[in-house]
Amino acid sequence: MSDRSAKKSGAFGWFMQRISGIVLLATLIGHFWVQHMPTDYLADEQEYLAIREAYAAKNPEYRKAVEEGLITDPKFGEHIITYEKVTKRLSNPLWKVFDMLFLIFGLYHGFNGMLNIIDDYAKNKGVRLTLVAVCWVLAISLFVIGAQTVLTASPYNPPSFSLTELLP
């Protein structure tokens, strides 16, 4: 294997690192806005309590998790990420497209950067080949997992009855 011969000059990777960086700048700002700023995409204290109550009524396991303290109380002034709000936003296909672009460009840019770094430091051929292979396997698995998460995310629809109700 000649050293990554397809891009011997590295100019394409260099160029794409910059283009993907600019795309990421836009998506990261959007992501930060949605996940951290006190907008309607997050639940405030009252909404959080209402959502928790509604889910606990529909889903006994949710109630159990609240009672066991796994789904904790809101803090004063806190804005919280919840399943309800995230899946509601993602029911708009444009948000799915946004998340997919973010995932694809983030993985491309991040792992392209890692290949650059490996190029700089790993001089031994075996070590280098191993690290490059690890990067590819990781990037592809993350793409598959991430795409599945985003594309299948949908509002909670409990079955009309639970099998456990049939048990004595």
Give the contacts of 104 (CB within 8 A, at least 6 positions apart): 143
**Angstrom distances, CA of residue 24 to CA of 30, 32, 42:** 10, 12, 22
Which of positions 7-46 make contact with ligand HEM (CB under 6 A)? 17-18, 21-22, 24-25, 28, 31, 35
Q: Rule CB under 8 A: which residues touch another protein?
A: 18, 21-22, 24-25, 28, 32, 36-38, 52, 55, 59, 61-62, 65, 70-72, 75-84, 86-87, 103, 106-107, 110-111, 113-114, 117, 138, 142, 145-146, 148-149, 152-153, 156
Is residue 149 a contact point for ligand HEM (CB under 6 A)? yes
Give the contacts of 101 (CB within 8 A, at least 6 positions apart): 23, 27
For 118-149, give the secondary structure using H, E and C: HHHHCCCHHHHHHHHHHHHHHHHHHHHHHHHH
Residue number with the smallest Cβ distance to ligand HEM? 113
Q: Which is nearer to ligand HEM, 149 or 154 (CB)?
A: 149
3 state DSSP class of 113 = helix
Residues that bind ligand HEM (CB under 6 A): 17-18, 21-22, 24-25, 28, 31, 35, 81, 86, 90, 99, 102-103, 106, 109-110, 113-114, 116-117, 146, 149-150
